[in-house]
Structure formats: structure tokens, C-alpha cells
Amino acid sequence: MSKLRQLISTSYSRYYSLQQAKKKLPIITCKRPEFNHYEGQSYSKYEGIKLASQGWLHNKSKGDYFIIHGNANKKEETPVYRKTFEDIGLKDNLVKVVKDLGFTLPTAIQTKAVPAILNGHNTVITAETGCGKTLAYLLPIIQHILEWKPSIQEEFNSPLAVVITPNRELALQIGEVAQTIAQSININVTTLIGGKTKKKMLNPPIEHSDILITTLGAYSKLVTTGIYKIHNVHHIVLDEADSLLDDTFIDKVTYLLKKFSIQYKVDIQVPPTGCQLTLVSATLPRDLPETVNSFVAAESLKMVRTSNIHRILPHVPQKFLRLGKAHKPAELLKLVQADQNERRPVMIFSNQTSGCDFVSMFLNENNVECININGQMPVQLKLGKFEMFRSGKVNVISCTDIVSRGLDTTRTHHVINYDFPLHTSDYIHRCGRAGRLGSPPGSHVTSFVAWPREVELVQKIETSVRTNSDLPHVNANIKRVIRDRIVRMSGALARAS
């Protein structure tokens, strides 16, 4: 009888806590209300976590859905973000420039990162997408340059700060931001991208540059040939550092950065000695690659982050639809037509170029004007198409993950994952195209889930929200993932034989 009483008591307690939770905000709502999840709701370790997506590997689950609402998976920030730009160390002339651009107070990451960089620390900036990371490093660097310039002899092709990116689109975008700040103060900004590197080597540019925004490949070649000088570089920034520290780029990054005198901590004097390093991304591995030690003392890196990194964006509702592959085009057309009727800009992500091209062709054939952009396009065509979307000439863009990393447009109202991404980090970056600083209210994400591997990743995302924990396996080292998979397959074949 005692065991029966204990069971009844436990069941009643569980029922009572669930009823109390239902009085709070819903965090997950589902097609089947019994799987809803509410603020403060917890799960018994004996009963396990009941997922709305639990049965999605079965064919009969097609048509099911669940929604993660905009109050999900959020950690509260301390009220440090209420500080002013003056409080975090910016001088009056730069504060005026920032306020003229419409920024009245720094964001949380700016409040933490600006003082760290101003004080000479090698800094790792990790924060959710769209929260102002670019200004978090540009503002202190520009302030340093304004202080240093009178004491440094100006030379051609000899910048004081270099921002390195993994792709041309991001370099051009950061260049625009830097130019916007620099146009009213005595700062020269140059943007250097690949595509015409051989021409530059034969006919070198001759220009004064305080800040150089560049891609890794182009800058590495022009430094190696001596066209760009490095002795005056006192700031190096790796933007989208998780990509640049991936196995795909790390050898070239290491070879380049070994040329610079990166200090443990730069003594901020005029003029300075040595070079200061800043790593920036929305996602970073918890343990940086060992190769980082070859160009910077890992213990010198000051970690600056918000509490919402590696978590579902806390302010953007996200809907997950379980569909069969054949049902995806019709569902896409329905969603996009609804957005077009309200003139709401839409970004549609596919995993491969072929899927990206299909989406664009399919929508245009159904009288929805849609442009596409992918990594296999010529540079100028790619940049021109993204500008068409950003400027409002076209409201629908079909793209691959090349647009998910760092590219900024505050127009996006709806992100659709036509193909669910293969890695958690890609999901975070795609979702980050919505709900950015200055984005319209009501921005949201819809994801189509069709394949077993996609279902498994969605279940991990749902579990992290229900347990209010970090998303799993955020650092996706693509080259290493592929290599490890080949090794596993080879091992399985060897065992089978």
C-alpha cells in the first residue's frame, strides 16, 4: 500500500505542477496540446522528456508540427547593457558619430567587448547573431587609430588594422559599416576582395589605408608578395572566426598570422608596440583548436560573450513542419504567397546549389519573383543579386548557407529552411537573418523537416529548449566531420569484410 500511496502522491504532484505551469507563458505549442511546454515546466528523470517530434521518424507523422515561441531558451542578462557609450570608454567625437547613426545605447555585447579591446586584450567575442558584434570591435579599433595616427608615419598600403573574413560578401558588408563611421572622421577604410588578385600583383594599388577589410586568400597573397606591408598593423580581427579556424582555413590562417607580432596584452601607448588579436563569431567551439597556440598565447584570450550563445534565438518564433519531400514545394508556395500578399521579405535556404536553383525556378514559374544566390556564382553577379534583395527591389531570395554567415539585412521578415540544415551551427546562423537589430516586428522562422537525419537534429533542438540548455554540437568543423564520417564508413566496411 505504501508504494501505491507514493505512486498516487507522485502522480498528483506531477499533475499539480503541470497545471501551475500551464498558467505561465507557453514556450512550445504543438498540433497535439498534450505535448505543449510551458515556462517553468520540468520533467521527471523517471518519466523522461516527452517531445512533440518524438514520433517523427514514422511516415504517419507527416503533417505534424510544433512551434517554439519567442520567449524560449532565454537566460536573463544583467542590466549592464544600460551603460552609455561614454561609460564604456568611447571618446566624445566617436560617441557623436554613433549617436548620429541612431544608436543611443550600446548593446550587451558592445558593453562587454569595447572596454576589453580598448584595454589591449586579445579578445574572443561570441554573441548571438544580429546583436551588434561588428560595431563591438570596430568602435574601439577606430578610437585607437584616432589616437595613434598623429604619431605614426603614414605609408602606402600599410594599414593599422586588418579585418579578415572567410568570404567576399561579408568583407564588402563590413567595409560599408566601417565607411559609414569613417566618413565623418579622419579615417581611411579600404576593402580588398579576391577575384582580381593577379591583376593587383601586376599593377599594385597605391593607397593610404588605416583599416583594411579583406578576405583571407586575397590578403595572404598580397602580404606574401610584399604589396601590403604588415609592420604597422596593430589590430587583427578574424570575423566569422569559427569558419576561419575550421580545418578548411586554419593552415592558411596560421601561416599568415605567424608573420605578426601578436602580444600577450598590448600596452596601449602612442604609438603602440605589437599587435592585438580579436576573434568574432556567433558560434565558437568551447575548446579552440590547438593550432591557435602557434600564433597567440591561448591563455591571453579574454572571453567576452552573452548568455544566449549556442541557444535558440530568444525573441524569434520558430515553427517546425514535418513534411514528405513531395509536399515541400506546395507548402513553400503557400507560405511565400501569403508573405508576398503582405509585402513581407522572405529568405529561403537550401543545402545545395541544385536545391537553391530549383526553389527559384519553381517560384518564378508560379508568378513569384525570386532571385537566387549561391557560392558557385561569379562574384559580381552574386553581390548584385544580394543587393537587389537588401535594397527592396526583390522581396524573395533563394540561397545556400553562403548568405547565412554574417551577411546583414534588416529587411528579412521570414526565414524558410526549405532544406533543414545539417549542423546546429548552420541553423543558428540561418535563424540569425531574422530578428536582427532594426528588423521588423514579427520576424519568424519556418523549417521543413523531411529526412531521418533532419528529424534527429530537430529532436535535439527541441530537447535543449525543454531542458533550457545549450544546443548540442554547435561547432561544425565541416572538413573534419566529412573526414570522420569516411573513417567510420571505412571501419564499418572493414569489419563487414
Q: Please tell me whether residue 291 adopts helix, strand or coil conformation.
A: helix
Please indicate, yes or no, if residue 403 is contained in any of the structural domains: yes
Residue 155 covered by a domain: yes
Number of domains in the chain: 2
- What are the C-alpha distances in Å from 281 to residues 168, 309, 333? 16, 10, 33
Q: What is the mean pLDDT of residues 132-155?
A: 92
Is 16 within a domain?
no
Single residue among 274, 305, 336 that ends a domain in this structure: 305
Q: Is residue 351 assigned to a domain?
A: yes
- Report residue 207's pLDDT band, with 50, 70 and 90 as the boundaries: confident
Distance CA(134)–CA(171), nearest Å, equals 11
Give the residue ranges of DSSP H helices in 84-196: 92-100, 108-118, 133-148, 168-182
Residues 174 and 238 in one domain: yes
Q: Are 473 and 241 in contact (CB under 8 A)?
A: no
Q: Which amino acid is at 104?
A: T
295 with 166, same domain? yes
Q: Are residues 103 and 209 in the same domain?
A: yes
For 22, half-sphere exposure in the C-beta direction (CA atoms, 13 angstrom radius) is 10
* Residue 8 belongs to a domain: no
Residues 65 and 319 sit within 8 Å (Cβ to Cβ): yes
Same domain for 113 and 256?
yes
Q: Are residue 276 and residue 404 in the same domain, yes or no?
A: no
Q: Which cell goes with 422?
A: 545539417
Q: Quote the CA–CA distance of 464 and 472 in Å, as a whole number.
A: 8
Asked whether the predicted pLDDT for residue 79 surpasses 50, the reply is no
Same domain, 260 and 205: yes
* Residue 122 counted as domain residue: yes
* Per-residue pLDDT reduced to its tens digit, 29-72: 999 999 999 988 888 877 788 899 999 999 899 999 999 986 65
Same domain, 317 and 272: no
For cell 566496411, name the residue: 493
The whole-angstrom separation of Cα 149 and Cα 138 is 16
Q: Where are the alpha helices (DSSP H) in 392-451?
A: 424-431
Contact 322, 61 (CB under 8 A): yes
pLDDT at 307: 72
Question: Does residue 169 share a domain with residue 184?
Answer: yes
| Boundary-marking domain end, from 305, 330, 349 | 305
Which of 71-80, 161-170, 306-315 reaches the highest mean pLDDT? Answer: 161-170
Clarify whether residues 127 and 260 are in a common domain: yes
Q: Are residues 301 and 315 in the same domain?
A: no
Angle (deg, nearest 10), helices 168-182 and 379-391: 50
Residue 197 banded pLDDT, cuts 50, 70, 90: low
Is the pLDDT confidence value at 495 over 80?
no
Say whether pLDDT at 16 is over 50. no
> pLDDT per residue over 246-279, tens digit each?
877 888 999 999 999 999 988 877 778 889 999 9
Per residue in 371-386, pLDDT (tens digit) is 998 877 776 677 778 8
CA angle, 339 then 341 then 343, to 5°: 65
Same domain, yes or no: 211 and 69 = no
What Å distances lie between residue 322 and 257, 327, 455, CA to CA? Answer: 46, 10, 8
By the 8 A CB rule, do 192 and 201 touch? no
- Between 126 and 438, the more confident residue is 126
Instruction: Note the residue count of the chain.
Output: 497
What's the N-to-C CA distance of the chain in angstroms?
57
Q: Tell how strand 37-38 and strand 26-30 pair up.
A: antiparallel
Q: Are 347 and 415 in contact (CB under 8 A)?
A: yes
Q: Which of 286, 305, 324 is the last residue of a domain?
A: 305
Residue 482 included in any domain = no
Cell numbers at 392, concatenated = 527592396
Using one digit for the tens of pLDDT, what is the confidence trace for 280-311?
987 776 667 777 888 999 899 999 988 777 77
Count of H-run helices and E-run strands, the chain: 15, 16
User: Which pLDDT tens digit goes with each residue over 393-426?
Assistant: 999 999 988 776 656 677 889 999 999 998 888 8
Residue 55 has a pLDDT of 92
C-alpha cell at 102: 541612431
Cell of 281: 563569431
Task: Indicate the residue type of 287.
Answer: D
Helices (H), ranges, 352-395: 353-365, 379-391
Q: So what's the pLDDT on residue 326?
A: 94
pTM to 2 decimals? 0.74
What pairing do the DSSP bridges indicate for beta strands 65-68 and 318-322? antiparallel
* Residue 397: CATH number of its domain: 3.40.50.300
Does position 171 have pLDDT exceeding 70, yes or no?
yes
Please return the burial class of 492, using the count of CB atoms within 10 Å of its CB with bins 0-12, 13-18 and 19+. Answer: exposed
Q: Are residues 95 and 117 in the same domain?
A: yes
| Banded pLDDT at 73 (limits 50, 70, 90) | low
CB–CB of 321/448 below 8 Å?
A: yes
- 301-305 β-sheet, strand order: 189-192, 211-215, 161-165, 235-239, 276-281, 122-126, 301-305
Query: Which residue range(s) make up the domain with 447?
Result: 22-74+311-466
Q: Does 319 score more than 70 pLDDT?
A: yes
* 320 occurs within a structural domain: yes
Q: DSSP code of 105?
A: S
Q: State the DSSP code for 175.
A: H
